[in-house]
Structure 1
Amino acid sequence: MQSEMGKLVEDNRKLQQRNKELEMIFDSSYDEIFVTDGQGITIQVNSACERNYGIDAKDLIGKTVEELETMGVFDQSVTKKVMDTKQQVTMFQKTSQERFLLVTANPVLSEDGSLQKIICNSKDLTEVKKLKKKLEEMEQLVEKYHEEIDELKSARFSGYVFVSKQMQHVMDLVSKVAKTDVTVMITGESGVGKTALAKQLHNHSTRQNQPFLTVNCGSLPENLIESELFGYVEGAFTGASKGGKKGLFESADGGTIFLDEISELPLHLQVKLLRVLQEKEITRIGSIKDVPVDVRVIVATNKSLEAMVEERQFREDLYYRLNVVPIDIPPLRERKDDILPLIKHYIELVENKYDKNVSLSTDAVQHLMNYKWPGNIRELENMMERIIVTASGSEVDVRELPGNITASKQQVVHYDTIDSLKNFLEKQERELFQDLYKDHPSSYKIAELLNISQSSAIRKIQKHISQK
């Protein structure tokens, strides 16, 4: 009898120990375990409930899930749905503590099919949801970076070499208006690159695969310019070609027409140009038939059209139609930061053209930098070709420079001793990247500022900054 009692006591001790272990396991589960009876009254919860609901476990016991739902502890009760269906239900649940739970509720049925208990297991997906949101934000950011990179790639201005802030502002404006059909007026001194800029506007527009036609209004005789621009029909005048001829506006249909030296356009033709801009149609000489044209118009001038309007040499209404987006290209003397890169660019072109390898001495570089360049980029390009072609050796000294450059008043510019243009430019490039990186420690931003690819910017940063 005593041995049986002892065995019962031992079995009871083991059972209590086992219950403690199960309670410990139950309570230590990171996932929430929420148990109700068949009526939805809370009978047991683990500590995870406190984290999810901000309520002590003991305060949950005895409350119905409907009460807890009314209190706003959670937004919807999974238990209630199981009470209605007596089947497993899985759904999302949001708690008063801003936790986002994935809840699976399982019914426990008696032999007669009545509902005895409902056991809910809830996984806290709050951090997962936050990570998912961050991932989505990162994906959007990456997509934005890719778009910016693609835009930078597509916005490379071939043949336009610059580092100055003045030209960066110009190119920023070009990037904005290139993909539109807005009329652009390019102003600037002779030789600054107005034609090249007009080509950039066309090449980066939606019309890039269509014609780009250039007309110099100052180079065509007045009696020919009308027929060149607007065309004519057969028999329109003596010498008219059989079958007539398309004008440049018709030939440029779907593309871009660039009217250089627009200030030289005769007044009577200014009226016809105004009609093209307003009505999108032309009439050939000798015809009464209107011909629709879809052409983007870009004009350029090195004169003040405002002054010409005041002097009644240019139509005011046409001026306002043309001057929708004005882009002024500053002269080279006002953007000296661009002189060195341009020298390097054109020397490389000339060297490749004539298969030569010539460098400039430090004194020669200083003279070229301080020269006023009245003919701007056109003069610099021609000068580099002249210097390289006529060079007597592998290095051009100041004595070999043209007289107009050596005779110009030179400012004293102090540089470290440099034995070649290559070393000089290397030093300038290093200083440029170091200064930019201080203000913009991002390869994306530097690539954007310098109009280079992001991969090039990374290489330059590694070369001049990372290994400094």
Structure 2
Amino acid sequence: MLHESVTIDLWENIFSSMHNSVIVVNVHNQILLMNESARRLLGIQDEDWKNKNIKTLIPNSRMHEILDGGERSIGQKMVISGRVCMVNRTPLYQDGEMIGAIGVIQDISEMDHYRNLVKQMESIIEFSTDATYVVDREGITIQVNTAYEELTGFHREELVGRRMTDLMSEGYFDQSVSVLVLEQKQRISIIQRIGGKKDVVVTGNPIFNELGELELVVTSVKDITQLNELQKELEKAQRLSTIQNNRYAIKSGESEQNFIIYSSQIKKVYEKIQQVAPFPTSILLNGPSGTGKEVMANLIHDLSDRREQPFIKINCSAIPEQLLESELFGYEAGAFTGANRNGKIGLLELADKGTVMLDEIGEMPLALQVKLLRVLQEKQMLRIGGTKPRNLDIRIVSATNQDVRKRIKEGKFREDLYYRLAVIEISIPPLVERQEDIIPLIDHYFSFFCRQFRIDKQMSQETKAILKAYHWPGNVRELRNLIENMLVSVPAHIIEPVHLPLHVHDRSYSESPSSLKEQVQQFEQRIISEVVEKYSSLRKAAEQLGVDHSTLVKKMQRWEQSK
């Protein structure tokens, strides 16, 4: 029995206020006390439980183990009345003598149910295609989904557990719709600037509990550019329409190339190609590297009556001299040691009835020049090791970036072959001599790579002006590669001058060089822009740059005002 100084009434008053179920037994395992929660759990309506052995109500009770061993048992999971429960059992002592034991029972079946519900809700939010941000009643971030990370560039590790007011002060957002919803307790939509660089529309929705208390704010985020999608598509269509009227699409294999026709120089080249392409006449294309000689060769083949026949391209400088002859002319079985026992058909023979492009023709070895001349004169060819000539009907389009006449004087190129190859000679001017083509080419390749990579970006007029002033030593090839590089490597939505390589700036402004101070400012702006794009948070960018957060904000505001 319990000591007389500890009354049953006192215990009942204490235990009745507890949410968990409480049962007290004496040393004989008889029930002395049971609070209301325990009676509800066991389904007891009357007072018939008093002084009963606990096993009559809970057959799987292990309270006797506590009474026998005198040691407590914590966190034991068991099923009581069909409910999953967590049970703590503790012996009771008075004056060093065990007087009974107390069991505290927590029904965790509801807890598991709510935990599963929470997990389901978290999964729904996570896999939603809409960017979603959730804060609790204190304005602390509790969940951010993947769509939000992808839209904003922020990672959830940066945000979860942080107060919205702190995130605003660090430059993550200029204002918070969650804070406004917590204050006004109603649905609110605002335009928010993310990381000082992207505008989004955010809508905060209050979530109330059964008592009408605001528990959560769930915010959906949409890129504001979606609101202007129709206008942008119209602008794209207008740009493409302008380009479409000044270009020729060439199907080459599985891909399509576009010949941009804008400047008067290129229009003359195109007109000449239109005139001569239908005839089988040999054509020599000359011009600096990267001007598009291969595109011109494709155009010639496409405009000829051989367009449905093979078009074989051979780079004379890319194939080792000792292999070039066998590649061009092929060989018979057993023609030389290591030869294929079945022989091999040459590239010239493969192109029969079609067109052959001989790129870098100026690099062809003299010995092969003699054999090629014979092919052009006799319309026949002989495989290595062969004795029977084969008739050959091919159209030769050759290309070079060298001065062939100079190589003739040096004895490195046969004059008679030159006249055979250059029945029609077409010179392709470098890009620096046809500046009218630069902006159309930029627009064309910018649109081309945006479609290919499925991205939506823009280029500022200031950037285009710098690119137009650049002298383009690599010509169209360099321009194409630079556009592709900027689209995939610059994270910004709009490509600004600071994103251009330094050598483009240097060459563009070579006629009117900036002062040292201006050049330093340009370099500083470039570095800061790259770091801000990388880290999203202005505070983190400032830490990376080793400057104060306020200093960085002031610099960026000054640059924005000077635009």
TM-score, normalised by the number of residues in structure 1: 0.54
**Distance of 2:391 and 2:486 partners within structure 1:** 50
Residue type at the aligned position of 1:344: D
One-letter code of the match for 1:274? L
Judging by fraction of residues, say which structure has more strand: 2
Alpha-carbon deviation of 1:409?
A: 3.8
Q: Is the 8 A contact 1:258 1:297 kept in 2?
A: yes
Q: 2:381 matched to 1:288?
A: no
Residues 26-58 of structure 1 deviation map (CA, whole Å, 9 limit, x = unaligned): xxxxxxxxxxxxxxxxxxxxxxxxxxxxxxxxx
2:248–2:259: 8 Å Cα contact kept in structure 1? Answer: no
Q: How does 1:198-347 map to 2 (within 5 A)?
A: 198-347=297-446
Kindly provide the amino acid, as one letter, of the partner of residue 323 in structure 1. A
Q: Deviations over 1:438-457 (max 9, x none)?
A: xxxxxxxxxxxxxxxxxxxx
1:390 aligns with 2:489: yes
Q: Which residue of the partner structure matches residue 177 of structure 1?
A: 276
- The one of 358, 361, 369 aligned to 2:457: 358
Contact 1:184 1:322 (8 Å CA) reproduced: yes
Once residues 156 and 375 of structure 1 are traced to their aligned partners in structure 2, the CA distance between those partners, rounded to angstroms, is 23
Please give the alpha-carbon distance, in whole angstroms, between the structure 1 residues aligned to 2:287 and 2:503. Answer: 23
Q: How far apart are residue 238 of structure 1 and its match?
A: 1.1
Q: What is the match of residue 66 of structure 1?
A: none
Query: In structure 2, what is the Cα distance between the partners aligned to 1:355 and 1:229?
Result: 41
Within-5 A mapping of 1:183-194: 183-194=282-293
TM-score (norm 2): 0.45
Q: Residue 259 of structure 1 aligns to a residue in which SS?
A: strand
Kept in 1: contact 2:316–2:358 (CA 8 A): yes
Measure, in 2, the Cα distance between the counterparts of 1:360 and 1:156: 24
Residue 326 of structure 1 aligns to a residue whose secondary structure is: strand
The answer on 1:376 being equivalent to 2:475 is yes
Structure number having the greater helix percentage: 1
Which runs of at least 4 in structure 1 moved beyond 3 Å after TM superposition? 152-158
Q: Distance in 1 between matches of 2:329 and 2:508?
A: 49
Moved more, 358-367 or 160-169: 358-367
Residue identity matched to 2:404: L
- Deviation of 1:229 after TM superposition, in Å, equals 0.3
Q: Which residue of the partner structure matches residue 516 of structure 2?
A: none
Partners of 1:354 and 1:302 lie apart in 2 by 32
Aligned-residue offset at 1:391: 2.0
Which AA in structure 2 matches 1:306? R
Q: Distance in 1 between matches of 2:456 and 2:504?
A: 22
Q: Secondary structure at the match of 1:160?
A: strand
Q: Please point out which of 262, 266, 290 is paired with 1:167.
A: 266
Which structure 2 residues correspond to residues 438-453 of structure 1 after superposition, within 5 A? none
**Is the contact made by 2:459 and 2:495 (CA closer than 8 Å) also made in structure 1?**
yes
Question: Relative contact order (alpha carbons < 8 A, sep ≥ 6): 1 or 2 greater?
Answer: 1
Structure 1 counterpart of 2:370, one-letter code: V
- SS at 1:225 equivalent: helix
For residues 315 and 404 of structure 2, what CA distance do their matches in structure 1 show? 16
Partners in 2 of 1:393 and 1:303 — Cα distance?
Answer: 41
Alpha-carbon distance change, 196 to 331 in structure 1, aligned in 2, over 3 angstroms: same
Greater Cα shift, 157-166 or 215-224: 157-166
Residues 155 and 175, structure 1, Cα contact 8 Å, conserved in 2: no
SS in 1 for 2:325: helix
Q: Judge conservation of contact 1:155–1:204 (CA < 8 Å) in 2.
A: no
Q: Distance in 1 between matches of 2:455 and 2:246?
A: 31
**Paired residue type of 1:315:** R
CA distance in 2, matches of 1:353, 1:387: 14
Who is 1:408 aligned against?
507
State the shift of 1:170 in Å: 0.2
CA deviation after TM superposition for structure 1 residue 362, in Å:
2.1
Which AA in structure 2 matches 1:371?
Y
In structure 2, the CA distance between the partners of 1:356 and 1:155, relative to structure 1 (3 Å rule), is closer
Give the aligned residue type for 1:347.
F
- Other structure's SS at 2:437 match: helix
Measured after TM superposition, the shift of residue 393 of structure 1 is 1.7
Residue 154 of structure 1: how far off its partner (Å) = 12
CA distance in 2, matches of 1:156, 1:387: 25
1:131-184, CA deviations, whole angstroms, 9 ceiling, x for partnerless residues?
A: xxxxxxxxxxxxxxxxxxxxx999765511131000000000000011000000
| Alignment: residue pair count | 261
CA distance in 1, matches of 2:280, 2:445: 32
Deviations 1:273-324 (A, max 9, x none): 0011100001100112111100001100000110011111101111111110
Pair 226,318 (structure 1): closer, same or farther in 2 beyond 3 Å:
same
Question: Please, which runs of 5 or more residues in structure 2 have no aligned partner?
Answer: 1-244, 251-256, 513-563
Separation of aligned partners in 2, 1:154 and 1:175: 14
Percent same amino acid among aligned pairs?
A: 43
* CA distance, structure 2, for counterparts of residue 264 and residue 153 of structure 1: 34
CA contact (8 A) 1:154 1:204 kept: no
Q: The residue matched to 1:404 in structure 2 has which SS?
A: helix
State the secondary structure of the residue aligned to 2:258. Answer: coil
Do 1:230 and 1:282's aligned partners in 2 also have CA atoms closer than 8 Å?
A: yes
